[in-house]
With several copies, the nearest count.
Chain A
């Protein structure tokens, strides 16, 4: 069971390394989107400090989401997905591997640069810590839930945009608790409650999402 999961993770990470662009781009998308807001809204530091958690989280949502269409699409287009579905182990395990690899490539780096971006918005050290923790805790859920959306829209032409339509509403709880944790820290209320809710969401969705995605993939392959 673990052998197949690690085999999938290994392959996907190797592909990501080959493409390079993948890792770097999701990250830079995050950085650029976050930097766009002050441009549109204006430079007042007070205003920006209030915005920071929301903006960072929305950008994290979008960056994760943007890489979703390709989660299965490449494998689908070149026929690998068929082969995976025909392999003699449950497809859910394969998807678990792919979700983990997706998080390693697109979620983890976000958590690592988030503090730097937070500084641009003049956040305090405490808030930065909670922000990083929240993104670390929340992004696996984004990958998991996103996998369902990616699987459901697989092979549909409007895919890229359609997936956002399906997935973003499901991301809202993560957004609310994630941004809430930072907000609570900024206002001095303490973000632990939010963080533990976030952990619960992540736990549930990483466990459950791969199997839902596997079911969706089988339908897409008919």
Chain B
């Protein structure tokens, strides 16, 4: 009972709300710094690709957006597992705060992929395994949001949504390994820790942009989490004190 209480306190909205408020500006600043550096390297310094011409520069958003769309889903599933196991209030809020950003990332991955595909493959869209599974990921995000929106009781919504996230997490390895399992039009993995086929600057540009997207996602998710938190906890003492204190 006692250690559970501690955990509960650690993840308690009352401590988390002000902490998140203080952290947001830092993440925004980091996102801007990484973004500027990444854009500088990727858009201004990096040379052209001998195969794809300048069109390859879409990679600097396509890949970070694709990565984030999968990563955010994993994080949501992680929160869901915590929430179902320990019954913490915070986890459901975090999952719900992350979902729209994750869906946007999946959408951006599809959008930039389509814009890339037209010049490279001659078509906006092919029914290739990776593209399709990314589309499914978007559907999973939307399904999660629709489910939690359809349930009015927040506690129930969190639990049901968490269960769905855990069930849907099987899709992530499918997306990731789809290029390996089926031979497809879409490019295989080219980022490799030991040897890289990419130019050094390109690689760095991509990694910096990925960091930028990461920080951005954290910042937006924290902002959204704060709103959700206040809304849900409006009858607790800390929220009331906060609402009463904050200037109009």
Task: Report which A residues bind B (CB closer than 8 A).
Answer: 19-21, 24-25, 28, 32, 35, 38-39, 42-43, 45, 48, 119-120, 122, 148, 152-153, 156-158, 162, 165-166, 168-170, 172-173, 212, 215-216, 219-220, 222
Contact = CB atoms under 8 A, between A and B. Distances in A.
B170 to A, nearest CB: 8
Interface in B146-173: 146-147, 149-151, 153, 155-156, 159-160, 163-164, 166-168, 171
A166 B163 CA distance: 12
A162 B143 CA distance: 8
A170 B165 CA distance: 12
B164 A152 contact: yes
B127 A220 contact: no
Interface string B117-148: 00000011111100010011001101100110
10 contacts: A19-B150, A20-B149, A20-B150, A21-B149, A25-B146, A28-B139, A152-B160, A170-B167, A173-B174, A212-B166
Given A20-B149, A21-B150, A220-B160, A45 B123 contact: yes
Main secondary structure of the interface of A (DSSP, over half): helix
B150 A120 contact: no
A19 B168 CA distance: 24
Given A120-B124, A162-B150, A215-B163, 10 more contacts: A24-B142, A25-B146, A48-B127, A152-B160, A152-B163, A153-B150, A156-B150, A165-B146, A219-B156, A222-B156
Given A20-B150, A216-B160, A220-B156, A165 B139 contact: yes
A162 B125 CA distance: 27
A24 B132 CA distance: 21
Contacts of A119: 124-125
A42 B184 CA distance: 12
A212 B135 CA distance: 25
Contacts, number: 85
Contacts of A156: 147, 150-151
A172 B138 CA distance: 14
Nearest to A120: B125
A157 B127 contact: no
Given A162-B150, A216-B163, A169 B140 contact: yes
B123 A172 contact: no
Interface of B: 123-128, 132, 135-136, 139-140, 142-143, 146-147, 149-151, 153, 155-156, 159-160, 163-164, 166-168, 171, 174
A166 to B, nearest CB: 5
Nearest to B139: A169
Contacts of B171: 169
B127 A42 contact: yes
Contact of B164 (A21, A39, A120, A166): A166
Contacts of B136: 169, 172
B160 A219 contact: yes
A214 to B, nearest CB: 11
Contacts of B140: 169
A20 B151 CA distance: 11
A170 B164 CA distance: 11
A219 B132 CA distance: 32
B150 A158 contact: yes
Contacts of A170: 167-168
A120 B135 CA distance: 12
Nearest to B159: A219
